[in-house]
Structure 1
């Protein structure tokens, strides 16, 4: 099978109960994918996303799981297959706290906290879904990265290191899984304000937008559009790539 997008496939979006993940889940459903809405603790938020998708005529179900835990990821993929169908698209979006830590206070645990979401979790997700993708003739792995790898903002070294490692995984897996018709790509957003940025001042928003060639702050829908493209038949020959969605901020 050379194209992905048929009635046998499901898109699994991790960390989809709110924020960027919720918008990605709704966009994929609007594009015709049955969507597995993963959450860790926000069951209410996940149920709201599922209801919104259903109201718009789409298909979705909520699945609670810690996607940094090996047994939980295996059980999640099995449950999605049982309730919705086999996973053909994985969107590795889940994240945890992202504290700013100056290097003189940086610990190995700070690194591990970020690596758990951006290296361990994608690895577990690919391992769990790959047999089904291969059996079905192919699939898509889409990682959510960050343009912070280029921006190299002081105080964010643990986060940047983990995001850089995530990009390395994307490229290596693209070569390794290409023969199985599994594409692996990464979408790297700039600053996309969501619920957790509710306290951001208008001054900060204007200051950031002034540095962006397109003159505005990014929206979750901008990132979701890139994800939908990579999940679509139009991206069947795109793999190992990083699509930066930041209005040109890091040109």
Structure 2
């Protein structure tokens, strides 16, 4: 079952791509600016005995998404597993400085892009008799982090879309779920102050930070036949950080 992972040149996306490859999926490693990183991820998968290739595309652009899915299908066959992981800059903007454009910048990645991707892969999934659509969300809507209202609103919209699309696509055998990580430090967090990390960790009931592999494990479950009767669900992966 071919898997397409967007934004997979580094961070969570790269780990998800590697995990799905270990489960036997041919993996399309999507990237936009980081060609060398994406090719390194794909080459690592191949070196480990898996099947993968890097595919460049801006997944917020309709024509680019259409071309991406066509290229993946030509190389590996229809996409049976879609992981919508790609994201953009996530600046903190105080509420009184927030503009509509700030909202649109986040909606591009968490509403527009998943919609374009869904429409592009759904016909192939229907032909296969089913498929898996997995969104990578966030626990920030519950945390109400100051300065992150545009990002949080877009992530909340993404979760709502997941539930509605699960109902609509269920008759075609397509499940739609969302994995909502807490703060999982990856490469782009290398410069974050250690004291900030420690303050966050103290609020996690399990007493530690999560890892990209722990997010990838949940994605792998949702991509597998073991989750065949699970749809419309939001699975939070944050060590209990948002327990009420």
TM-score with structure 2 length normalisation? 0.99
Q: For residues 74 and 133 of structure 1, what CA distance do their matches in structure 2 show?
A: 15
Specify every segment of 5 or more residues in structure 1 that has no aligned partner in the other structure, as ranges.
Answer: 1-8
Match of 2:166 in 1: 174
Match of 2:203 in 1: 211
- Pair 1:163 & 2:151 matched: no
Q: For residues 210 and 76 of structure 2, what CA distance do their matches in structure 1 show?
A: 32
| 1:202 Cα deviation after fit | 2.0
Match of 1:121 in 2: 113
Q: For residues 43 and 207 of structure 2, what CA distance do their matches in structure 1 show?
A: 34
Match of 2:31 in 1: 39
Q: For residues 212 and 193 of structure 2, what CA distance do their matches in structure 1 show?
A: 18
Specify every segment of 5 or more residues in structure 2 that has no aligned partner in the other structure, as ranges.
Answer: none
- Pair 1:200 & 2:214 matched: no
TM-score with structure 1 length normalisation? 0.96
Match of 2:79 in 1: 87
Among residues 91, 101, 121, which one is paired with 1:99 in the alignment?
A: 91
Structure 1 residues 92-148: Cα deviation after superposition (integer angstroms, max 9, x where no partner): 000000000001110110000000000000000000000000011000000000000
Structure 1 stretches of at least 4 aligned residues deviating more than 3 Å after TM superposition: none
Query: Partner of 2:175: helix, strand, or coil?
Result: strand
Match of 1:14 in 2: 6
Q: For residues 204 and 161 of structure 1, what CA distance do their matches in structure 2 show?
A: 24
Equivalenced residue count is: 243
Among residues 107, 111, 133, which one is paired with 2:103 in the alignment?
A: 111
Query: Partner of 1:38: helix, strand, or coil?
Result: strand
Alpha-carbon RMSD: 0.5
